[in-house]
Structures are given as C-alpha cells and as structure tokens.
Amino acid sequence: MKPTLFLSDMHLDPSRPQIIQLFIRYLLEHGSQAREVYLLGDIFEAWIGDDAVPADHPVLGAIRRLSDSGVPVFVMRGNRDFLLGEAFAEATGTTLLHDPTVIELDGEKVLLMHGDLLCTDDVEYQQFRAMVNDPQWQAGFLAKSIEERMTMAKQARSESTNRNSELAAGREQIMDVNQQTVVDTMREHGVRRLIHGHTHRPDIHHFELDSEPASRIVLGDWFDQGSVLEVIDGRYDLQTLTE
Ligand code: MN
C-alpha cells in the first residue's frame, strides 16, 4: 500500500539552499512513491504574490514534476505564504485547500489545518491574520509593485521576529495551540484526528474527546532537518529526515 505524506513548515528560502535541496530530493524520491502528498502551509518563508516568482523557480518545477508523475498534490496556505494563489496552483499542478479541510484517510475523517488558527491565546496575531486574509486587503497589497511588496514584507518579518523573541522570552504558552480551541474545532468538524503544523513542535498528542480516543499530530519544521508524517493503512509515522 502506498503512503500518504504530510509536510509543512519547510520555510524555503534562498538563505538555506541545503533545505531546498533536501525538500526537492524528498519530493522526487519519496513523494513520487506516494498515494497523495499534502503540503500544509509555510512551504515558503515568504510569498508576496504568484507574479513575483520566476517561472523557472526550482521548487515549483519539482512540485510540478511530482504532480505530472500522477501523484495528487494538495497545498494549504500558511501564515507565511498566505498569498499562494491560483497561478501557483496552475503552475505546479496542485489543488489549493481551504484551512481547515476534512479529508477521508484510510476510512477515517481527518481534519487538516496549518495550525495558526488554533493559537487563539495570541489575540494580536489573530487580529493580524484576519486583516491579511481579508480579500480587499489582499487585492490592495497585490496591486502594489513587487518592490513595494518586498519592502512591506521585509518590514513585517522583522516586526514579527522582534515580537516572537519577546513572546518566547516570557510567555511560551501563548505561541502554542489552545487546547480548548483544538477540542472545539475537532468537535465542530466531527473528527477524532487532527493534523497540523505551524508551531514547530512535532509530536503526537493523545487525549479524550467526548469519551473517545482522539489525537493531534503536529508536523515539524524544516530548519535543521526535514519532518514528514507518513500514513500507511491507518498507521501514523512521524519521521525526521536528515541530509
Ligand atoms: Mn506557520
């Protein structure tokens, strides 16, 4: 039986070429053997619009090769690459997924999210998210020149880096998911299993939901190594990849 693969938080960026290579190699060697591949957000460290990316982008080419080989590839936007659009989907032969999305996996309903929606303790971030997910805000941003957008994105990133180090210093809890939000969201979608990334805390959490066993699987990031969830026949295997 072929595996279904889940990856997120590659944060691909020219400053870490070895991770780009690891990701491309993984897609071509393992992705091509999969039944389906799900990329659950923050594939890219930054994405300021589909039009700002050269047509011969190596990552887009690798995803295209995978989808052309007959493996369905699904993409959910993350908080870094929330502007991934239809042109990206067309160029890569992928299907964009709404966040959240419920899929059926080996006969079970499974909820997929990027994960940032679960971090409801971070009220300031949720306000920012609501702003940048507003279609009008996005249209206004995308109407600016690529140079202007690059400047704005750079500024937003340095503000967020400062803020994250402040948060990490005092209140680590606020950067993680809120368990009540997890429970409410899973209940709302009628699932006992949730897969997400974003927090960079790879783990499989088991708990009880309405007196039934439930689990939340957190994908890891791709900073120093790779992380992938392989699902075969209802078995969930969270792996770390080294170079
Ligand atoms: Mn994220």
Q: How far is the CA of 45 from the centre of ligand 1 (A)?
A: 9
Average of per-residue pLDDT across 83-110: 97
- What pLDDT is recorded for position 173? 62
Q: How far is the CA of 149 from the centre of ligand 1 (A)?
A: 20
Q: How far is the CA of 215 from the centre of ligand 1 (A)?
A: 20
Q: Record the pTM.
A: 0.94
Average of per-residue pLDDT across 151-171: 76
**Domains located in the chain, CATH noted:** 4-241 (3.60.21.10)
The pair phi, psi for residue 119, each rounded to 5°, is -90, 65
Express as a percent the part of the chain with pLDDT over 70. 96
Beta strand pairing status for 95-97 and 101-105?
Answer: unpaired
What's the CA gap between 31 and 123, in Å, rounded? 37
Q: How far is the CA of 211 from the centre of ligand 1 (A)?
A: 31
Q: How far is the CA of 9 from the centre of ligand 1 (A)?
A: 6
Give the CA radius of gyration of the chain: 18
Average of per-residue pLDDT across 72-79: 97
pLDDT class of 171 with cuts at 50, 70, 90: low
Closest by Cα among 227, 237, 234, 212 to 26:
227
Average of per-residue pLDDT across 55-67: 94
Closest by Cα among 124, 115, 148 to 49:
148
Amino acid making up residue 100: P
Q: How far is the CA of 103 from the centre of ligand 1 (A)?
A: 21
The answer to whether the beta carbons of residues 98 and 74 sit under 8 Å apart is no
Q: How far is the CA of 106 from the centre of ligand 1 (A)?
A: 27
The pair of three-digit structure tokens given for residue 149, joined into one six-digit string: 């957008």
- By CB atoms closer than 10 A (0-12, 13-18, 19+), residue 14 is exposed
Average of per-residue pLDDT across 125-136: 94
pLDDT above 70: residue 184: yes
pLDDT class of 66 with cuts at 50, 70, 90: very high
The answer to whether the beta carbons of residues 119 and 175 sit under 8 Å apart is yes
pLDDT above 60: residue 156: yes
DSSP label at 243?
A: -
Q: How far is the CA of 114 from the centre of ligand 1 (A)?
A: 7
- Give the H/E segment covering residue 218: strand 212-218
- What pLDDT is recorded for position 159? 82
pLDDT class of 242 with cuts at 50, 70, 90: confident
- pLDDT tens readout for residues 9-54: 999 999 999 999 999 999 999 999 999 999 999 999 999 999 999 8
pLDDT class of 157 with cuts at 50, 70, 90: confident
Q: What is the mean pLDDT of the chain?
A: 93
Q: How far is the CA of 122 from the centre of ligand 1 (A)?
A: 13
- What pLDDT is recorded for position 164? 74
Residue that is written with structure tokens 């460290």 in the block: 45
pLDDT above 70: residue 64: yes
